[in-house]
Amino acid sequence: MRQLISMEEAFEAIEECASQRPIKTSTVPLPDAVGQVLAEPAVAQLSIPSFNNSARDGVVLSSTGIDAAKRGDTITLAGELRAGDSTEMAHGLVGMAARIMTGAPVPDWGVAVVMIEDIEFSDETTFKVKATPDTCAWIRPEGSDIEAGSVILRPGRRIVPEHVQALASSGVVEVTVHMRPRVGICSTGEELVDITSGRPGSGQIYDSNRPFMNAMMQSFGCEVAVNERVGDTLDEMVSFLEHAMEASLDLVISSGAVSMGSYDFVKPALDAVGAQIVFHKVKQKPGKPLLFAILPNGALYFGLPGNPVSTVVNCRFYVHFALSVMQQQKQEVSMKLPLETCIDKPEGIAIFLKACCVRADDKASVYALDGQESFQTRPLLEMNGWVVMSEHEGSAQARDMVNFYPLHQDGLPDIF
C-alpha cells in the first residue's frame, strides 16, 4: 500500500487498475442507449440525405430551364413533386421544370430550385423566373450530410438525445454500448439521519453524502445496485463489503471512516475481507484521506472522506475518472482560463477550489468563491466548476492562467 501520494500518482494508479477492468458491453435498441457509453463504432446504414431533395418550396429547373429563365422566357411545368413521392416518380417526369415542395425528390435532370418568392406565375402551369438561381441552388445532394458506411459516432462517447436524432436518421437501429456500471454506495456514522426521517436530533446531522453519491452515480450513467448506511462498527462495515461483493458490482464507494480516528474502520474492514489497498491518502485539499482498493472479486473500491465537499471532489474527479477508463472514454482536459483574483496556495499539495467561470466582452475568466472549507456546502449552489492546481504550482495572481473544470465532464458552464 502506498501512502500520501501526489494527485498525479493517484490518477496513474487508478488508471492502471481501472484499465484492466473494462465494463461489459451489450447491444441495445437505439432509444434505450441514452446515457450509456458507446463501445463499438456506429456506422451509417443510409446516406443523409438518401436522395437529392429540395431545400425549399418552389420550382426545380433543368439546365435548359435555367437558360430559358435567363432569357426571360415563359416556362411550362411538367408536374408536381411532393415530400414522400418516390425518386422513380421524380425521374419519370419529362420536361424542363416542375413544381417542387421542401423535401421532395429532385428529378435526375434537375440542376437548381427556384424559391417560390422568385417565381411569377401566369397561370397554374406557366411562369417566369424573377431571379435566376445558381446551379445546385436549394438542392440537398445525396450524402452531403452523412455518407452510408461511414463511422458517425466513435467509441467512448456518452449517447445523448441529439446523437439519437442523427443515428436514427441514418438508419442505425441498435448500438453496442458499455452496460451501465453497477455501483454500490455507503455512508458511515452513527450521527447520520436519513433526509426522509424528520429533523435530526441533538448531535445528529442529515446524511447528505449518500443522496449526493446516488445522484452523481446516476448522472454518470451508473446503476446504483446497493445503497446503505452503516454505523460505527467494524462488523457492520465488513457486512456491507460482503454484501457488495455478492451483488457483482463494478465499483463500490463509501464516505467517512477513512482517517486515523478510533472509529475509522474502513481500512481494517478492507483488510478483513482480503482487499488489496492500492493507496491511502493523497497530497491534496480537500479530501486528503482518500483510499483506493481492489476488492477480492475485482471490484474497485473508493473510500471517500466524510466531509461533504471532500466527498464531492473525490467523486467528481477520481471516481468519475475510474468509470471513464473502464468505459474507454477519453481523458478529460481542463480549460485554461485567466484568474480574476489571486489564489494563496500552500506548497506541496494539490487543491480543488469551488469556482465560477464568468464571461465579459466575449472573454471568459474564473474566480474562486469564498467558503472553501470542506464542510461548507453553500458555494456548491453558486459554483459552475472547479479550479484545480497541482502540488507543483504555487500561489497565483490575477490574470494567471489556471486549470478550470466544469461541474460535470460532459457539460460546459452555462455562460458558454
Burial class for 151, CB neighbours closer than 10 Å (0-12, 13-18, 19+): exposed
pLDDT, tens only, 296-326: 999 999 999 999 999 999 999 999 999 999 9
Whether 125 is covered by a domain: the verdict is yes
Angle at 337 between CA 307 and CA 364, to 5 degrees: 105
Q: Is the pLDDT of residue 411 over 80?
A: no
CATH number, domain at 284? 3.40.980.10
For 203-220, what is each residue's pLDDT tens digit? 899 999 999 999 999 999
Looking at the fold, whether 31 and 168 belong to one and the same domain comes out as yes
Does some domain include residue 66?
yes
Q: Is residue 98 part of a domain?
A: yes
SS3 at position 328: coil
Assign 259 a pLDDT band (cuts: 50, 70, 90): confident
Q: Chain-centre distance of CA 354, in angstroms?
A: 21
Domain match, 200 and 166 both: no
CATH of the domain at 119: 2.170.190.11
Q: Is residue 414 part of a domain?
A: no
Residue 156 lies inside a defined structural domain of this protein: yes
275 burial via Cβ count (<10 Å: 0-12, 13-18, 19+): buried
- Is residue 19 within 8 Å of residue 146, measured between CB atoms? no
- What's the full length of the chain, in residues? 416
Note whether residue 413 is domain-resident.
no
Closest CA relative to residue 257, chosen from 230, 282, 278, 295: 230
Shared domain for 317 and 194, answered yes or no, is yes
Lowest mean pLDDT among 84-98, 248-262, 265-279: 248-262
Q: Say what the pLDDT of residue 4 is.
A: 95
Using pLDDT thresholds of 50, 70 and 90, give the confidence band for residue 412.
low
The reply to whether 20 and 110 lie within a common domain is no
For residue 24, the tally of other CB atoms under 10 A from its CB is 11
Q: Could you tell me the pTM of the whole model?
A: 0.88
Mean pLDDT for 130-146 is 96
Query: Are both 127 and 200 inside the same structural domain?
Result: no
> What's the domain range around 297?
2-24+180-326
Q: Which amino acid is at 148?
A: A
Last residue of a domain, one of 279, 306, 326: 326
- 136 and 161 in a single domain? The answer is no
Per-residue confidence (pLDDT) for residue 9, from 0 to 100: 98
260 against 156, higher pLDDT: 156
276 and 214 part of one domain: yes
Share of the chain above pLDDT 90, in %: 91
Query: Domain containing 170 — which CATH number?
Result: 3.90.105.10
pLDDT, residue 255, reads: 97
219 shares its domain with 292:
yes
Are 184 and 296 contained in the same domain? yes
User: Looking at the predicted structure, is the pLDDT value of residue 410 above 80?
Assistant: no
Residues 299 and 397 occupy one common structural domain: no
What is the C-alpha to C-alpha distance for residues 346 and 349, in angstroms, rounded to an integer? 7
Please state the φ and ψ torsions of residue 185, each to the nearest 5 degrees: -130, 155
Average pLDDT over residues 128-138: 96
Q: Which domain-ending residue is among 306, 326, 346?
A: 326
pLDDT per residue over 164-181, tens digit each?
999 999 999 999 999 999
Of the candidates 79, 80, 91, the one whose C-alpha atom is nearest the C-alpha of residue 52 is 91
Tens digit of each residue's pLDDT (9 = 90 or more) over 356-366: 999 988 899 99
Judgement on whether residues 117 and 224 belong to the same structural domain of the protein:
no
Separation CA 216–CA 155 (nearest Å): 22
| The total number of structural domains that make up the chain | 4
Cis peptide before 286 (omega within 30 of 0): yes
Asked, for residue 276, whether it belongs to a domain, the answer is yes
Residues 369 and 285 in one domain: no
Report the C-alpha gap between 154 and 174 in whole angstroms. 14
- In tens, the pLDDT along 18-77 reads 999 999 999 999 999 999 999 999 999 999 999 999 999 999 999 999 999 999 999 999
| β pairing state of 97-100 and 80-81 | parallel
Structural domain contains residue 416: no
